[in-house]
Amino acid sequence: MKTSAVIDQLKRRFPNEPEYYQAVQEVLESIEDVYNEHPEFEKANLIERLVIPDKIHSFRVTWVDDKGNVQTNMGYRVQHNNAIGPYKGGIRFHASVNLSILKFLAFEQTFKNALTTLPMGGAKGGSDFSPRGKSDAEIMRFCQAFVEGLWRVIGPNMDVPAGDIGVGGREVAYMFGKYKKLTGEFTGAFTGKGIEFGGSLLRPEATGYGNVYFLNEMLKTRNIALKGKKCLVSGSGNVAQYTCEKLLQMGAIPVTLSDSDGYIYDPDGIDEEKLKYVMELKNIYRGRIREYAEEYGCKYVAGGRPWGEKADIALPSATQNEIDKEDAEKLVANGIFAVSEGANMPSTPEAIEVFQKNKILYAPGKAANAGGVSVSGLEMTQNSERISWTAEQVDEKLKWIMRNIHENCVKYGTENDGYINYVKGANIAGFMKITKAMMAQGIL
Ligand SMILES: NC(=O)C1=CN([C@@H]2O[C@H](COP(=O)(O)OP(=O)(O)OC[C@H]3O[C@@H](n4cnc5c(N)ncnc54)[C@H](OP(=O)(O)O)[C@@H]3O)[C@@H](O)[C@H]2O)C=CC1
Ligand SMILES: O=C(O)CCC(=O)C(=O)O
């Protein structure tokens, strides 16, 4: 297998899907040597079967806005691979959603889920619907219409969606309600549900908390304490909020947050009280991060990203490709020594090269942000057993899973000079598990 040849072929067969090629290329470059040691993989055409999704569902979503206008959006579910468990992954509602983005996310999810130690395959779905500025009633009608297109291809043993950008507890609840009505069954067909109807404690917190647990494991390899370190966080949604919360609990100092309009820099640190303000602003009033700067009198940079500010650690938690080569160079020049990704694929390949050349502790999203889907997996277990674990029980399991992912990255990613290449480690560890399962199950 030669990565460049596989990518050329994908470009011919599936034109105009740059994010998908980017995600596939990163993985194939990591696994090329290991793969080529196994002629039986090539004989089974494993690579094509691993990179091309099992199934892609697409459907029109028709809904009525508050003015009575009939609107349409596109809905999708990319079911990438179910070799190790039912398809599993979030739903994204954002104007930018297209098949390239969902195929990259579903591919990444397959590897991420393999790292969690839990039996989950990989999938991702979503719509080009933008929740921005929509009323609660419009969100509900959209979610219900979306599930009308989706419900036949999901289920607790088939495919279990959850949240992602633009989809939080409110949207999952509306989708779950509609699914329940259409099927007449109360099953764990979604995760990220409310606590009152089968959700797991700590699922909202899990991605951000898990990322900080992973970061802490990375820091331990260099005997660095998290306490007192200044952190650049991007985004201001679910992942960013709970990343800040855990950083504060562990004595670190988050100094930035952002949204798609710009970023704030608070040199005094975003403390518990200010974080509470952000949570209300974003989760209840659905406001803009600019309002934080107005409230606390700090710097706001319209249209900017926080990567030029001075700090010790960066935790990108907004979206894909939000750190390019120039941003990475600024981060390194400013003395950043660790980057732990809460978002999926937030660093471009050129940015990753800068981090690795400079021996930065760099964790790719598929390892560092796996805490979210891990607690989703724990929610599935609780639903199957019809029990609920305490927050302490879930947190213990989350910590154990993040430590285990870190150990696997060290095992497969440590280079001759001792540098831990977490990209290589995560990709090879995930690949080994999925491949074993695919080979055992025959040609499908
Ligand atoms: N939720 C989860 O459990 C998990 C999420 N992730 C990943 O974490 C990231 C954040 O997700 P989550 O916090 O759940 O989503 P939210 O919708 O809660 O928050 C997303 C945040 O990112 C900002 N953002 C979105 N798109 C862009 C863009 N194109 N440019 C700049 N800022 C943008 C949003 O700003 P605005 O409000 O202006 O749109 C918002 O602040 C995503 O990459 C997601 O895939 C990974 C693992 C699990
Ligand atoms: O909880 C889940 O199923 C999916 C979370 C997610 O979308 C992700 O890990 O990127």
- The reply to whether 47 and 116 lie within a common domain is no
pLDDT tier at 344, thresholds 50, 70, 90: very high
The alpha carbon of 318 and the centre of ligand 1 are apart by a number of angstroms equal to 4
Asked whether residue 351 is domain-assigned, the answer is yes
Q: Which domain holds residue 213?
A: 204-368
Nearest atom in ligand 1 to 257's CA: 41
Considering the domain architecture, whether residues 138 and 216 belong to the same structural domain is answered as no
Q: What is the mean pLDDT of residues 58-82?
A: 98
Taking only the tens place, the pLDDT of each residue in 198-253 is 999 999 999 999 999 999 999 999 999 999 999 999 999 999 999 999 999 999 99
Rounded distance between C-alpha atoms, residue 229 and residue 252, angstroms: 5
The residue whose CA has the least distance to atom 9 of ligand 1 is 343
Q: Is the same domain home to 350 and 215?
A: yes
Q: Quick one: 170 and 182 in the same domain?
A: yes
**Tens of pLDDT along 374-409?**
999 999 999 999 999 999 999 999 999 999 999 999
Residue where one domain finishes, among candidates 134, 152, 187? 187
Q: Distance, CA 331 to ligand 1 centroid (Å)?
A: 21
Please report, for the domain that includes residue 35, its CATH number: 1.10.285
Ligand 1 atom 7 nearest Cα = 343
Pocket of ligand 2 (CB under 6 A): 88-90, 109, 112, 162, 164, 191, 344, 372-373, 376
Average pLDDT on 147-176 reads 98
Residues framing ligand 1 (Cβ under 6 A): 163-166, 168, 207, 235-240, 259-261, 317-319, 342-344, 369, 372
Does 223 fall in a domain?
yes
Report yes or no on whether pTM surpasses 0.95.
Answer: yes
Q: What is the pLDDT of residues 302-330, one digit of tens each?
A: 999 999 999 999 999 999 999 999 999 99
CA of 81 to the centre of ligand 2 (A): 15
CATH number of the domain bearing residue 70: 3.40.50.10860
Closest-approaching ligand to the CA atom of 234: 1
pLDDT number for residue 30? 97
Asked if 248 and 281 sit in the same domain, the reply is yes
Q: Which of 164, 172, 369 to mutate to test the pocket of ligand 2 (most atoms within 8 A of CB)?
A: 164
Within-domain flag for 385: no
Q: Are residues 4 and 94 in the same domain?
A: no
Whether residue 359 is found in the same domain as residue 246: yes
pLDDT at 159 (0 to 100): 98
- Which residue from 116, 239, 402 has its CB within 8 A of the most atoms of ligand 1, so it is best to mutate? 239
Q: Whose CA is nearest to atom 9 of ligand 2?
A: 373
The pLDDT of residue 127 is: 98
Q: What is the Å distance from ligand 2's center to 125 Cα? A: 10
Ligand 1 atom at minimal distance to the Cα of residue 92: 45
* Domain-embedded: residue 299: yes
Cα(428) to centroid of ligand 2, in Å? 20
In a domain, 325, yes or no: yes
pLDDT of residue 241: 98
Same domain, 331 and 295: yes
Residue that terminates a domain, selected from 140, 162, 187: 187
* Helix (H), strand (E), coil (C) string for the chain: CCHHHHHHHHHHHCCCCHHHHHHHHHHHHHHHHHHHCCHHHHHCCHHHHHHCCCEEEEEEEEEECCCCCEEEEEEEEEEEECCCCCEEEEEEECCCCCHHHHHHHHHHHHHHHHHCCCCCCEEEEEECCCCCCCCHHHHHHHHHHHHHHHHHHCECCCEEEECECCECHHHHHHHHHHHHHHHCCCCCCCCCCCHHHCCCCCHHHHHHHHHHHHHHHHHHCCCCCCCCCEEEECCCCHHHHHHHHHHHHCCCEEEEEEECCEEEECCCCCCHHHHHHHHHHHHCCCCCCHHHHHHHCCEEEECCCHHHCCCCEEECCCCCCCECHHHHHHHHHCCCCEEECCCCCCECHHHHHHHHHCCCEEECHHHHCCHHHHHHHHHHHHHHHCCCCCHHHHHHHHHHHHHHHHHHHHHHHECCCCCECHHHHHHHHHHHHHHHHHHHCCCC
Average pLDDT over residues 149-165: 98
Q: Mean of the pLDDT values across residues 162-168?
A: 98
Report pLDDT for 253. Answer: 98
- pLDDT-based confidence at 90, cuts 50/70/90? very high
Ligand 1, atom 3, lies closest to the CA of 372
Specify if 199 maps to a domain.
Answer: no
Which of 124, 178, 193, 230 is an active site residue? 124
Q: Which residue, 323, 341, 368, sits at the end of a domain?
A: 368
User: Number of folded domains in the chain?
Assistant: 3
Average pLDDT on 55-63 reads 98
Q: Do 3 and 61 lie in a common domain? A: no
Q: Counting ligands in written order, which one lies closest to the CA of residue 111?
A: 2
Mean pLDDT, range 100-113, rounded to an integer: 98
Residue 412 within a domain: no
pLDDT at 281: 98
Across the chain, mean pLDDT equals 98
284-290 mean pLDDT: 96
Residue 60 lies in a domain: yes
Q: What is the model's pLDDT at position 10?
A: 98
CA of 41 to the centre of ligand 1 (A): 36
User: Rounded to the nearest whole angstrom, what is the distance from the C-alpha of residue 106 to the centroid of ligand 2?
Assistant: 10
pLDDT confidence band for 271 (50 / 70 / 90): very high
| Per-residue pLDDT at 53 | 98
pLDDT at position 79 is 99
Residue nearest to atom 26 of ligand 1 (CA): 319
For residue 164, the model assigns a pLDDT of: 98
Q: Which ligand is nearest to the CA of 88?
A: 2
Mutate to test the pocket of ligand 1, among 211, 238, 289 (most ligand atoms within 8 A of CB): 238
Active site residue 11: no
Q: What is the CATH number of the domain that holds 354?
A: 3.40.50.720
For the CA of 240, the closest atom of ligand 1 is: 13
275 and 318, same domain (yes or no): yes
Q: Are residues 48 and 58 in the same domain?
A: no
C-alpha to C-alpha distance for 308 and 367, rounded to whole angstroms? 25
From 127, 165, 205, 345, mutation site for ligand 1 pocket: most ligand atoms within 8 A of C-beta: 165
Are 213 and 343 members of one domain?
A: yes
